[in-house]
C-alpha cells in the first residue's frame, strides 16, 4: 500500500516508517521543516512538508500522493511544558486531533482512500469507577477533571470522527522508549511523586510495540477502536519506583493529595489516585498483535539501560545505594 503518514518525524512516526517499509508499504511521510524532512527521507520515506492545520495544503498533499491509507500521528508535544492545566499544554495537539483529523478525513474521502488509522490515547480517559482495567467497550469518564476537559473531548472527537468514517482509532498507552520521553526528567528530579497510596493505574506501551500494532491495524477493516497497551496495567506505586531505578534516579517522594493538588493540579491527583488502566485483549485477538515488550518492567530497563549507565558514571557509587527501598529489591 501507499501509506500517507502525518507526523512521520515524531516519536512514534520515526518508529513506524521502518516497520511500514519492512512490511512492503511505500511511505509518504509528513513533517514541518527541511531538517525533520531529511530525517524522514533517511528512514526511507518520501518526505512532504505539511502543516496539518492548513486545509488547502493537506488536500493538495493527499490528492497528489494518491495514498491507499492515511495514518494520523501528528501531535505537538515536543518541548511542551506540562503545567497544572493539561488543556493549556495540549491546546495545539487538541487542534491536530480535531481540525487536523477533519481535514485529513475530508482529503481521504475526496481521494478515495480506503484505510484511515488515527492516534488516540487510553490513559486517564476511562470512567473512574468499577474495576482497575478497562476494555474499549467500557464507558469513558463522563466528568473529566476540569483542567483536561478539552483534551478529553478532543480525543473523543478523534475516536468518533475516525470510526464514523470507517477508520480505526488506536488508544495508545503512555509511550516510552526514547531518551527524551517526557516522564524522564520529572522522575530524575523527583518531581513526580506517589500521591497518597498511589492507587491510580497506568497503561504503557513501548514505541516499537505501538508501531507494530499500527502496521497491523492497516490490514484490518474498520470501524474499530483498540487499546494499544502492554500486558501489565499497574498502579503508580508499583511502576514509578521501577522507572526511577531504571534511570538510576533516587526513589520517588510520597506526598498527600493536598500537596499534589498544589503542585500537579487536579489532573495530576487523578492520574496518581483514580486513573484506570486498559486491556489489550481485543488488539491481540483481532489484530494478532504480539508485543516485544509485554511489560514496562522489562521495557523500562532495556529502554533506559544507556541512560542508567551514564547516571552511574556521574555518581561515584551505584545509583541506588543508600536508598532503603531499593535495597529490598
Ligand X SMILES: NC(=O)c1ccc[n+]([C@@H]2O[C@H](COP(=O)([O-])OP(=O)(O)OC[C@H]3O[C@@H](n4cnc5c(N)ncnc54)[C@H](OP(=O)(O)O)[C@@H]3O)[C@@H](O)[C@H]2O)c1
d(CA 177, CA 175): 7
How many Cβ atoms sit within 10 Å of the Cβ of residue 288?
A: 10
Closest residue to ligand X, judged by C-beta, is 10
- Specify whether the CB–CB gap between 173 and 122 falls below 8 A: yes
The least distance separating ligand X from the CB of residue 97, rounded to whole angstroms, comes to: 10
Taking CB under 6 A as the criterion, the residue among 1, 21, 53, 153 binding ligand X is 53
Name the 3-class secondary structure at 48.
strand
The least distance separating ligand X from the CB of residue 279, rounded to whole angstroms, comes to: 18
State yes or no: residue 235 binds ligand X (CB under 6 A): no
The least distance separating ligand X from the CB of residue 32, rounded to whole angstroms, comes to: 4
d(CA 187, CA 253): 10
Q: Choose one: 146-154, 172-180, 272-280, 313-321; the region binding ligand X (CB under 6 A).
A: 172-180
Q: How far is CA 171 from CA 46, 85, 263, 275, in A?
A: 27, 22, 28, 15
Buried b (16+ CB within 10 A) or exposed e, 206-233: bbbbbbbbbbbbbeeebebbbbbbbebb
Site string for ligand X, 70-109 (x = CB under 6 A): ----xxxxx-----------------x-------------
Q: Choose one: 24-32, 125-133, 251-259, 260-268; the region binding ligand X (CB under 6 A).
A: 24-32
Site string for ligand X, 179-208 (x = CB under 6 A): -xxx--------------------------
- Specify whether the CB–CB gap between 157 and 101 falls below 8 A: yes
Q: Choose one: 110-118, 173-181, 186-194, 304-312; the region binding ligand X (CB under 6 A).
A: 173-181
State yes or no: residue 296 binds ligand X (CB under 6 A): no
State yes or no: residue 273 binds ligand X (CB under 6 A): no
- Specify whether the CB–CB gap between 9 and 36 falls below 8 A: yes
Nearer to ligand X, 155 or 244 (CB): 155
- Specify whether the CB–CB gap between 13 and 70 falls below 8 A: no
The least distance separating ligand X from the CB of residue 12, rounded to whole angstroms, comes to: 6
Taking CB under 6 A as the criterion, the residue among 9, 151, 202, 214 binding ligand X is 9
Look at the block and give the residue holding cell 475516525.
Answer: 162
Residue 47 dihedral angles phi and psi, to the nearest 5°: -80, 145
State yes or no: residue 57 binds ligand X (CB under 6 A): no
Which residues here bind ligand X, judged by CB under 6 A? 7-13, 30-33, 36, 50-53, 74-78, 96, 121, 172, 175, 178, 180-182
Amino acid at each position: 500500500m501507499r501509506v500517507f503518514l502525518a507526523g512521520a518525524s515524531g516519536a512514534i512516526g520515526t518508529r513506524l516508517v521502518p516497520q511500514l517499509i519492512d512490511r512492503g508499504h511505500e511511505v509518504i511521510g509528513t513533517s514541518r521543516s527541511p531538517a525533520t524532512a531529511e530525517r524522514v527521507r533517511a528512514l526511507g520515506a518520501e518526505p512532504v512538508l505539511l502543516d496539518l492545520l492548513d486545509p488547502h495544503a493537506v488536500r493538495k498533499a493527499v490528492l497528489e500522493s494518491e495514498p491507499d491509507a492515511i495514518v494520523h500521528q501528528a501531535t505537538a508535544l515536543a518541548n511542551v511544558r506540562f503545567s497544572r492545566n493539561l488543556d493549556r499544554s495540549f491546546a495545539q495537539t487538541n487542534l491536530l486531533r480535531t481540525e487536523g483529523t477533519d481535514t485529513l478525513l475530508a482529503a481521504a474521502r475526496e481521494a478515495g482512500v480506503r484505510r484511515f488509522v488515527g492516534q488516540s490515547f487510553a490513559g486517564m480517559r476511562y470512567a473512574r469507577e468499577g474495576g482497575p482495567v478497562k476494555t474499549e467497550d467500557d464507558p469513558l469518564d463522563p466528568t473529566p477533571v476540569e483542567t483536561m476537559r478539552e483534551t478529553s473531548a478532543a480525543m473523543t472527537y478523534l475516536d468518533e470522527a475516525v470510526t464514523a468514517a470507517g477508520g480505526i482509532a488506536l488508544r495508545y498507552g503512555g509511550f516510552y522508549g526514547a531518551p527524551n520521553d517526557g516522564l524522564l526528567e520529572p522522575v530524575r528530579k523527583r518531581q513526580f511523586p506517589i500521591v497518597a497510596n498511589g492507587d491510580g493505574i497506568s497503561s504503557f506501551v513501548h514505541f516499537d510495540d505501538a508501531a507494530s500494532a499500527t502496521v497491523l491495524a492497516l490490514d484490518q477493516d474498520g470501524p474499530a477502536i483498540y487499546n494499544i497497551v502492554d500486558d501489565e496495567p499497574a498502579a503508580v506505586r508499583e511502576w514509578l519506583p521501577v522507572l526511577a531505578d531504571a534511570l538510576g534516579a533516587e526513589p520517588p517522594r510520597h506526598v498527600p493529595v493536598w500537596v499534589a493538588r498544589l503542585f500537579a493540579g487536579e489532573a495530576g491527583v487523578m492520574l496518581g489516585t483514580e486513573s484506570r488502566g486498559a486491556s489489550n485483549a481485543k488488539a491481540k485477538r483481532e489484530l494478532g498483535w504480539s508485543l516485544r515488550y509485554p511489560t514496562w518492567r522489562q521495557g523500562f530497563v532495556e529502554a533506559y539501560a544507556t541512560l542508567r549507565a551514564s547516571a552511574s558514571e556521574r555518581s561515584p557509587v551505584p545509583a541506588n545505594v543508600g536508598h532503603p527501598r531499593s535495597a529490598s529489591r
